[in-house]
Structure 1
């Protein structure tokens, strides 16, 4: 089994990345292969709704930008997906939104099998407020894609601003560790 995690923050080693790594550590402890993909800061663009992905029927997008089809391929090959995002004005980063829209459109235009039945979970970092909207945006995507959404003992978020602040959020750390354990268990049950 494999889980691919997308860091939607342009801060490669920021709180979103550190939070994702806490979840991945628990998955690896359970023998699940993991990969983290740096999405934030990449030149990816939103969906044009051109419909070409539905005509091609190959689970790919015709737009040529910074590796979106590689990201979609990684999702296709994974059993579980983590999307991590910082909270920008009560929502996901633009790169995360591009991934959601384009991957979602490609999946729906090709019968939905790209995402259906996979386990998905969100990881959110926030300075103070707005994290539940970010959490919801990611989970709404998983829901409409017919994925199995993994939860934790609290919403999958940390209160942290400056890189490293997550290390001082005891409840956030516990939430991410529990999330990793729950995702490992769920993946084993689903597969």
Structure 2
């Protein structure tokens, strides 16, 4: 069983810290874990070219396909972003836009049956998803909603914790997530819930 963490932050900092708290707990429970840092990757925005419909994959040539294939193979995703102007980071948004749109056409055609699309099972169906957002003061819940909405429309099972899976850190740009004891405990319980749900699904 594999968990993929994706860090949308352009720097080494608080978001990565919280994701690693979750991955560490899951690794200790027997999961294979991997962290992808988008700051090391080139991810361009979706061009709306609809090339993925004909080719059954995204045709924009950059780091996307490498990460996308890891997403498809994982049983669970832990995706985190710092809050930039009330939103997730642009590079993470670009990844999710392209992953959601191109995956939809891997098993479907651009046609309707009696006026509706019949999506059926999709590549991300029933994978487990955990959103994490981080800000020093506010904006976390809107960014959290962006991640949760993306997961819900792509047929994931969204896992929560015993409180919001958001971190409070980074005042004046500081890297101090390790001081957010409540946030850390929430992330640890998030890992426990992911463990529980995935093992039930695999039973």
TM-score of the aligned structures, taking structure 1 as reference length = 0.94
User: Partners in 1 of 2:58 and 2:79 — Cα distance?
Assistant: 20
Q: Which residue of 2 aligns with 1:148?
A: 157
SS of the aligned residue for 1:40 comes to helix
Q: Which of structures 1 and 2 has the bigger CA Rg?
A: 2
Structure 1 segments of 4+ aligned residues over 4 angstroms from their partners: none
Residue 167 of structure 1 and its aligned partner are, at CA, apart by 0.7
Offset of residue 176 of structure 1: 0.5
TM-score where L is the length of structure 2: 0.88
- Are the aligned partners of 1:5 and 1:83 in contact in 2 as well (CA < 8 Å)? yes
Task: Establish whether residue 171 from structure 1 lines up as the match of residue 182 from structure 2.
Answer: yes
**SS of structure 2 residue aligned to 1:107:** helix
1:61-76 aligned within 5 A: 61-65=58-62, 67-76=63-72
Aligned-residue CA RMSD (Å): 1.2
Residues of 1 paired with 2:198 and 2:175: CA distance?
29
Q: Secondary structure at the match of 2:81?
A: strand
Match of 1:184 in 2: 195
* Deviation (angstroms), 1:97: 0.2
Aligned residue for 1:130? 139
CA–CA separation in structure 1 for the residues paired with 2:174 and 2:103: 34
Does residue 41 of structure 2 align to residue 42 of structure 1?
yes
Question: Which runs of 5 or more residues in structure 2 are unaligned?
Answer: 108-120
Cα deviation code 1:41-61 (max 9, x no counterpart): 63311111211111112xx31
Aligned residues: 187
Which residue of structure 2 lines up, in the alignment, with residue 107 of structure 1?
103
For each residue in 1:44-79, what CA deviation from the matched residue of structure 2 results, as whole angstroms up to 9, or x when unmatched? 11111211111112xx310012x1000100011111
Query: 2:84 — aligned with what?
Result: 88
Contact 1:6 1:84 in 2 (8 A): yes
The 3-state SS of whatever aligns with 1:6 is strand
Work out whether residues 2 and 78 of structure 1, in 8 Å CA contact, stay in contact via their aligned partners in 2.
yes
